[in-house]
Amino acid sequence: MTAALWLVTGTDTGVGKTVTTAAIAAAATAGGQRVAVVKPGQTGIQPGSDDEPDMEVVRRLGGPATVLTVATYPDPLAPLAAAQEAGVPPLALGDAIEAVESVAGTHDVVLIEGAGGLLVPMGEGGWTVADLAMALRCPAVVVARAGLGTLNHTALTFEALHRRGLSGCLVLGAWPDEPELVHWHNLAELPGDLAGVLPDGAGGMAPGAFRDAAPGWLTPLLYGRADPERLRADGVPSPPPDWPEPIDLSR
């Protein structure tokens, strides 16, 4: 494999993983990278419903070259439980690895979006996205909330990564328009290298506006241009004057 691989996971469900994945895809694409996004297990999509699958959100907002969903289940459950409820064979870890490898040779960046948190059971034998990251030896992008309760969940996620010998960086999935005291304290105290802050409501932006803005939400580590020194200070991404080239720490 020649691509830079990133696992996009979260401290919980609903923290902004999909929009963050789209933002990274948009920033990398704007920088001239050919991007693929892989979703091993999509749940909560009923046949014939109007619900937009995660990879369609990523395609619409971020514009990556390729999106791929390996398995889809109708019930809004963890992928292993959803497969059991649907009466279909659960996804094998080897199939998820094969899906990533199938696009890695023809893309510069491959983003792998998990389901829920790092240790959610994904498929056969109860494997998790942490197991997938270990098999692929790729770092994680941990997407977290900005508000109350995030410190413990985020610390536990990074501890689980580090115990497995995996590295990771932090992105806040939704920074409020009017942050309160708790948000400022969390911004200063959250563990991990802060690599991005997305504004609340980013997923509702028009695709063109989203793609134009996304590089300013992310630091060069995630192919953006936000100043890493300013994110912790004011929560508002601001590009440095020289816009440094992205730093590839994924290999």
> How buried is 21 (Cβ within 10 angstroms: 0-12 exposed, 13-18 middle, 19+ buried)?
buried
DSSP three-state, residue 55: helix
The interaxial angle of helices 150-163 and 181-189, nearest 10 deg, is: 20
User: Is residue 39 flagged as an active site residue?
Assistant: yes
> What DSSP string describes 202-243?
GGGS-HHHHHHHGGGGB-GGGT----HHHHHHHSS----TT-
Cα-atom radius of gyration of the chain, to the nearest Å?
17
CA terminus-to-terminus distance, the chain: 10
Among 15, 25, 39, 111, which one carries the catalytic annotation? 39
Query: β-strands 35-43, 66-73: how paired?
Result: parallel
Show which residues are catalytic: 39
